[in-house]
Structure 1
Amino acid sequence: MASSLPTELGSTIQAGHIRRHPDPRQDIAPSTAADKRQLVDFHSARRSDIDNDDDDIPYSVLRPPKKHYNLPPLPDLRFEQSYLHSIASADTWWKVLLITARDQVLMPLAQGVLLNLALVGWQHWNKNARVHGDSIGIRLRRWWYGVNNWKLPAPTKRRV
């Protein structure tokens, strides 16, 4: 009796979902190619009908084009909009002056200092790598000379 319980449960669930009065507009499937019957006469088929390329799968289905993703709109990077947004909460003239000094003097100064420190650090590292022969260009050149069995040029002395 316990073994028949799962089968009865399944049939009960199936029977409960049967629509006794289906709506033809919603419940009838649309017609397909399988609904239309055509008789085939093998004796009248020509070779040109068999080799017809119309039955081939189109290339666009086999290899569909890549999806193009739409990027979000670019933010408004004009100074006026961000400046007006910054001073919108300022209620006195000296707060406007401080915000203006911050946006026009301090932030460009800080950005310039950080950029120059990064460039000076890069130049120092690159100069040191060039002197000791550890740069990527030197490694690539050594590899290319080795692949082509070329003789490496003699190192020239440079002033440091």
Structure 2
Amino acid sequence: MASSLPTELGSTIQAGHIRRHPDPRQDIAPSTAADKSQLVDFHGVRRSDIDNDDDDIPYSVLRPPKKHYNLPPLPDLRFEQSYLHSIAKADTWWKVLLITARDQVLMPLAQGVLLNLVLVGWQHWNKNARVHGDSIGIRLRRWWYSVNNWKLPAPNRRRM
């Protein structure tokens, strides 16, 4: 019984939110204007019903052909599917606990730390490049001035 607990835990968590007996007064969406609308059929209109004006709009404009998009199906990005796949091989409750801690705590923490280290490093490098005049914008400006034989403006010395 204890060995089947981790595999049953995932399906219990996944199916725990399903309502077996929904209440029609609360769970059915109210009717909208789209429920009562009627489609217009221009092909059923007789020519004698339409005025013979020169301003008639052709049917190809009124009912253009439908565009068909063949897009691939959207991938399943829900967390529960990958979580269930991760704990499928766990045979004890503490392995389920370790997998859950890894997926919910350690991985987001590691990703956040790495992202912040990259951002702080970029800010430090960019500030250092601006102070010493080695940024890409400065290099591009120097090149453009040299191509056009323009005189470089005097450097603006501000205190940081």
TM-score by length of 1: 0.50
Paired residues in the alignment total: 160
Alpha-carbon distance change, 130 to 22 in structure 1, aligned in 2, over 3 angstroms: closer
Instruction: Give 1:159 deviation, angstroms.
Output: 3.0
- Please give the alpha-carbon distance, in whole angstroms, between the structure 1 residues aligned to 2:141 and 2:52: 57
Instruction: Give 1:151 deviation, angstroms.
Output: 2.4
- Please give the alpha-carbon distance, in whole angstroms, between the structure 2 residues aligned to 1:21 and 1:10: 22
Aligned to 2:5: 5
State the identity %: 94
- Give deviations 1:111-131, integer Å, cap 9, x for gaps: 110111111111111111111
Instruction: Give 1:110 deviation, angstroms.
Output: 0.4
Instruction: Give 1:20 deviation, angstroms.
Output: 78
Instruction: Give 1:158 deviation, angstroms.
Output: 2.7
Alpha-carbon distance change, 139 to 111 in structure 1, aligned in 2, over 3 angstroms: same
Q: Which runs of 5+ in 1 are unaligned?
A: none
Instruction: Give 1:3 deviation, angstroms.
Output: 82
- Give deviations 1:55-106, integer Å, cap 9, x for gaps: 9999999999999999998864431221111010112222212111110111
TM-score by length of 2: 0.50
Q: Assess if the C-alpha contact under 8 Å between 2:145 and 2:151 holds in 1.
A: yes
Rg: which structure is higher? 1
Instruction: Give the aligned CA root-mean-square deviation in angstroms.
Output: 22.5
- Please give the alpha-carbon distance, in whole angstroms, between the structure 2 residues aligned to 1:121 and 1:71: 40
- Please give the alpha-carbon distance, in whole angstroms, between the structure 2 residues aligned to 1:8 and 1:150: 75
Instruction: Give 1:142 deviation, angstroms.
Output: 0.6
